[in-house]
A and B are shown apart, each in its own frame.
Chain A
Amino acid sequence: MKQIQTVCGMIDPQSVRGALVHEHILASAPGIPENYPLLYGEGFMDRAAQALHALMENGINTIVDAGTYDLGRDPKRLKRLSEQTGIQIICTTGIFFDWTDGFGTFSEDTVSQMLIDDIRVGMAGTDIRAGVIKAVMDRECATSGRVLQHRAAANASMETGCPIFLHTASECETGRFQLQILIESGAQPEKIRVDHILDTTDMKYIGWLYDQGVWLGVDRLPRVRRKDECFVSTQMRLNTVQAMIEAGMADRMLFSHDASAVSTLWDTVDPDTLKFVHESVIPDGWLFILKHAFPELTRMGVDPDILHGILFENPREYLGFDV
């Protein structure tokens, strides 16, 4: 029977009532949780717990923390938050930063085993296990380090059955390289989710991805940004979501925000920027999709049942694996 591996152990996929599959509960940098948690600022656990409580109150009970160790993954504190709030939290293994320079030349086997240990034994010396694998490519594209990391992710997925998700640069169509490496290494398309799709509006690329049999992560809804940054706007993202649903992709779409509850990056920016982000860009944080995107998509003519299916049904299938 398929199960989902959370920070508090295995759960039945049917216990998932709505899941955000790519968020950051606690986000920082490697070594910070263990060495300098002070950087999160006063009361950070309370702030994270509040955001999780709000999800629960709005009918979503499951969330994936997409932070790998080098984004400051903190399994112990995440487990505590899960116990405290009742939200089911899934942790991530994998590597975020490119290792091409400065990390030594580790073999594919060594890196694969590191990820497998995170899934089977536990992360960071605990018995808290990871339930998803992250692989990353951005504008640096298919460097030697990136190729190795993708192969290791594929190996770990084949060995454990654990699903993979990909950080991509959609504007550069890195998904094409990433899927090629993963599939060549033997990973199953139905175990792979390609994220950050909405950073492009190119339906040809999106259609190609869907045709590969993978899941499509429609996240960064909205894309969190500062005043001086410009990305594909929220309205254009919603148009793309609608176009994807109309093209029949809803059975393999997954919603998320890619937003942080507590982050050393955002918590210390100047108050004006924070106000701009919280009031203009992402009011309601992790509830943006429920409170803003869904009503707007419904107004645009999308069937609410389909939206509900994407948020409530699809994650059960994507996140579960035979253990």
Chain B
Amino acid sequence: MRFVQSVCGPVPVEELGFTLMHEHVMASNAGVPENYPQMYRPDYQESLIRDLRACKANQIDTIVDASPYDLGRDPRRIQKVAEATGVHIICCTGFFFPLNPSFGNWTEEQIASMQIDDVTKGMAGTNIRAGLIKAVMDREGPTPERRFLHHAAGIASVETGVPIFMHSNPLYETGRYQIAFLKEVGVPAEQIKLDHMLETTDMEYIRWAYDQGVWLGCERLPRVTVAGDPYAAGIEARLKTLKKMIDDGMADRMMLSHDFSGISPVFDTLSQKQRADFDAQIPGRWLFVKNTVFPRLIEMGVDASVLYRMNTENPRNFFEAARSKGEGN
């Protein structure tokens, strides 16, 4: 039997249930959880517990927290809310930002070993282990530094058997470089999930990605924006893309999620008016996919059982597909 490391210990893949594969339980910045948790809203814990209980009440069993240390990963506080609510929460390792100059001239292997420690020993001096590895490329494109970080993530993934998920920018088709970089260090396709697919409506690119054998993360359902953010595909365009992907037979490797932050100093400090606009875009918060997207897709003619499988069987198969060289993963 295969296990996934949640913040409360290993969970058999059979018990993951309905899983949101790319959310942010808590998102801030490097060093904030340890030094200035005052940046979280004062009622952050109650707010998270409320959100997670709502998930549980709606049969959402598992959430992946997509924040590596430089998005303010906070394993201790996340463990507390997971214990309080019974939702399985899975933390990740990896690097969101290009390496701070303070990282100096570390090698790919050395950076990989840090991620391996997070996966096999625990994060931030705890014994809470990471269950996924994140790799990131955005519009900066395939810079040497991004290639380096993808290699480091790939080495850690091959060594531990823990799968990789990727922040990508489909408008720039960064997935083409990202998958190539991971292949360079031998990561099998079934161990890779390419996220943020719904930023594009280009079925040719999406089909290409599917044909690589990787998993497709369909999130930002909807994409929540604040004034001044660049224009992004709206929810209707995203629903249409989802429908096309399902009709084209990709449902066996799709997973739907929101990429929504339960707690984030950036969003929590918006003015009341901005906050109201923000919340209105995603009624139901982490329930939007299940309670709004699924019914809409059913109306559009998608089979309900297909939808359900995308967030239950697929996450299970994704974690099961990852092959471990080591023990206990």
Contact = CB atoms under 8 A, between A and B. Distances in A.
B229 to A, nearest CB: 13
Given A30-B31, A105-B269, A106-B265, A36 B38 contact: no
Given A31-B69, A104-B269, A39 B34 contact: no
B211 to A, nearest CB: 36
Contacts of B305: none
Nearest to A30: B31
Interface residues of B, number: 33
Given A35-B69, A35-B124, A105-B270, A73 B35 contact: yes
Contacts of A264: 102-104
Given A34-B125, A268-B106, A103 B265 contact: yes
A269 B104 contact: yes
B269 A265 contact: no
Contacts of A73: 35
A32 B265 CA distance: 20
B31 A70 contact: yes
A72 interface: yes
Contacts of A28: 102
Nearest to B39: A106
Contact of B104 (A102, A106, A123, A268): A268
Contacts of A34: 31, 34, 124-125
A33 B117 CA distance: 15
A27 interface: yes
B95 to A, nearest CB: 10
Contacts of A38: 110, 113-114, 117
Contact of B35 (A35, A69, A102, A263): A69
Interface in A31-72: 31-36, 38-39, 69-70, 72
Nearest to A31: B30
Contacts of A114: 36, 38-39
Contacts of A288: none
A82 B265 CA distance: 34
A265 B268 contact: no
B114 A30 contact: no
B102 A263 contact: yes
A34 B32 CA distance: 11
Contacts of B103: 29, 39, 264, 268
Contacts of A123: 35
A268 B101 CA distance: 11
Contacts of B114: 36, 38-39
Chain B contact residues: helix, strand, loop or mixed: helix
A205 interface: no
Interface string A243-272: 000000000000000000001111111100
Given A104-B39, A104-B269, A29 B123 contact: no
B100 A268 contact: no
Interface string A169-182: 00000000000000
B205 interface: no
A188 interface: no
B80 to A, nearest CB: 14
A72 B104 contact: no
A31 B70 contact: yes
A30 B73 CA distance: 12
Nearest to B114: A36
B272 interface: no
A204 B127 CA distance: 57
A108 interface: no
Given A29-B103, A34-B125, A124 B38 contact: no
B300 interface: no
B29 interface: yes
A30 B30 contact: yes
Interface in B94-151: 100-106, 110, 113-114, 117, 123-125
Given A266-B104, A268-B103, A102 B34 contact: no
A265 B32 CA distance: 21
A73 B35 CA distance: 9
A36 B104 CA distance: 13
A34 B70 CA distance: 12
Contacts of B102: 27-29, 32, 39, 72, 263-265
B117 A103 contact: no
Contacts of B269: 104-106
Given A30-B30, A104-B267, A270 B105 contact: yes
Given A30-B31, A102-B29, A36 B69 contact: yes
B267 A268 contact: no
B29 A30 contact: yes
A266 B261 CA distance: 36
Interface in A69-103: 69-70, 72-73, 102-103
Given A34-B125, A124-B34, 11 more contacts: A29-B31, A34-B31, A38-B113, A38-B114, A39-B103, A103-B29, A110-B38, A113-B38, A264-B103, A265-B104, A270-B105
Nearest 10 A/B pairs, CB to CB:
A268-B104, A30-B31, A31-B30, A104-B269, A69-B35, A30-B30, A29-B102, A29-B100, A104-B266, A31-B31
5 contacts: A29-B100, A69-B35, A103-B266, A114-B38, A266-B104
